[in-house]
Amino acid sequence: MTGEADVIVIGAGVIGLSAAIAAQARGLSVTVLDRVGPAAGASAGNAGAFAFTDILPLASPGILRQAPKWLLDPLGPLTVPPAYALQIAPWLFRFWRACAPGRVALSTAAQTALMDLSKSELEPLLTQTGTMPMLRKEGNLQVYEGEAEFKASLGGWRARAEHGIAFRHLDAAGMAEIQPGLAPRFTHGTFTPGWYSIADPKLYALALADHLRAKDGAAERAEVTALRPVEDGVEVLAADGTARRAAQVVLAAGAFSHRIARTIGERIPLETERGYNTTLPSDAFDLRTQITFGGHGFVATRLSTGIRVGGAVELGGLELPPNFRRSEAMLKKASAFLPGLKSEGGVQWMGFRPSLPDSLPAIGRARAAPRVIYAFGHGHLGLTQSAGTARIVADLLTGATPAIDIASFSPQRF
């Protein structure tokens, strides 16, 4: 048995590291464990967005209308590999149920509350960790091919407006003022100024890990295989046979979290949205804002380390090999959408986004072990919601009332 900490955080992605730093700030001793190390998973290769305006759940009637067309294209915005279709069927049934209008309204309200909290907590976290220079407030431009696609989006924008989100609709000339060089096929757009980004998500997460260590926290490499509740604490068992003990544990292991939760008798319907991208050299295109090609399910982002083109959803689990034809398909489209884009010299990536069927994360105490706090399942919004999730986790660890109502995020809702 190794030394005991007040808190062990399982997972050194942006959620786990942010939660660890928030716990440290409350005076708790913290050790972070990860099977690979800090910023090695989805926190390294994501689009770098703080998408605070993205409050509408993926599980919605709109996605049900789009899904049949998308699923016919194996390289399209949404796909289920045939080899995984049977395994994911129960999750898809739950997803379908979550698309009911009443449930969508509840999910949207919950997402809005978490987004507002995350936005208010972000800059204090960046200031605390010395990472404020990485923050960019360049907004997001969502583009549409023709009047019909634009009009189909208006219901979603009305819903956002009802929750206080600012945006403005643009014609081709208005889009060109924000982002020159778009293909003429894009006739309409919507700009959201409240959408931020980080200079590079991997460098940001590594900076969080450095801050944790500088404040006497520990970040260790260990593959956690099981949790064991004991008197006055939790034992954390690793694949190498070692055991660690803490008064409380935060489970923030992303797409692998449900496997660990199962060892304390809880079955969480967590699945994996496999995301793909290509990062091009910085001179590939003069990108001035993040661009969302909503009809095609991907974005283009300017990072300090290059231009990243990627997104989409492949519901393919953790074991199937990557299908980098998906990265190639998005890059080919981006070359058509952004004439002049230099598509050579890119680096491909695939990562696992942890996804629950109602598009909401699991944040709260485990039923089987109240000293275990869950913080996973954020889908493509992990970076966006990291600071708010960290605040809630720190509240739970210290017995404070959470900053927002977390009933909608209860792990027991399934």
Place of tokens 């403005």: 168
Cβ atoms < 10 Å from Cβ of 237: 18
Cross-strand partners of 190:
142, 169
State how far the Cα of 294 lies from the Cα of 273, in Å rounded to an integer: 17
The overall average pLDDT reported for the chain is 97
What is the pLDDT, as a whole number, of residue 66? 85
- pLDDT tens by residue, 209-233: 999 999 999 999 999 999 999 999 9
The band of 63, judged by pLDDT with boundaries at 50, 70 and 90, is confident
pTM for the whole thing? Answer: 0.97
Q: Are 361 and 378 in contact (CB under 8 A)?
A: yes
Tokens coding 70: 């998308």
Tokens coding 162: 């009802």
Q: Which CATH superfamily is domain 59-97+137-194+271-355 in?
A: D-Amino Acid Oxidase, subunit A, domain 2 (3.30.9.10)
| 5-44+203-269+359-413 has CATH 3.30.470.20 classification | no
- pLDDT tens by residue, 287-341: 999 999 999 999 999 999 999 999 999 999 999 999 999 999 999 999 999 999 9
Within 8 A by CB and 6+ apart from 166, the residues are 192, 193, 194
Mean pLDDT of 246-270: 98
The band of 2, judged by pLDDT with boundaries at 50, 70 and 90, is low
With a cut of 60, say whether residue 1 has pLDDT above it: no
| Three-state secondary structure string covering the chain | CCCCEEEEEECCCHHHHHHHHHHHHCCCCEEEEECCCCCCCHHHHCCCEECCCCCCCCCCHHHHHHHHHHHCCCCCCEECCHHHHHHHHHHHHHHHHHCCHHHHHHHHHHHHHHHHHHHHHHHHHHHHHCCHHHEECCCEEEEECCHHHHHHHHHHHHHHHHCCCCCEEEEHHHHHHHCCCCCCCCCEEEEECCCEEECCHHHHHHHHHHHHHHCCCEEEECCEEEEEEECCEEEEEECCCCEEEEEEEEECCHHHHHHHHHHHCCCCCCEEEEEEEEEECHHHCCCCCEEEEHHHCEEEEEECCEEEEEEEEEECCCCCCCCCHHHHHHHHHHHHHCCCCCCCCCEEEEEEEEECCCCCCEEEECCCCCCEEEEECEHHHCCCCHHHHHHHHHHHHCCCCCCCCCHHHCHHHC
Residue ranges per domain, the chain? Answer: 5-44+203-269+359-413, 59-97+137-194+271-355
- pLDDT tens by residue, 69-81: 888 888 899 999 9
Mean pLDDT of 276-286: 98
- pLDDT tens by residue, 142-164: 999 999 999 999 999 999 999 99
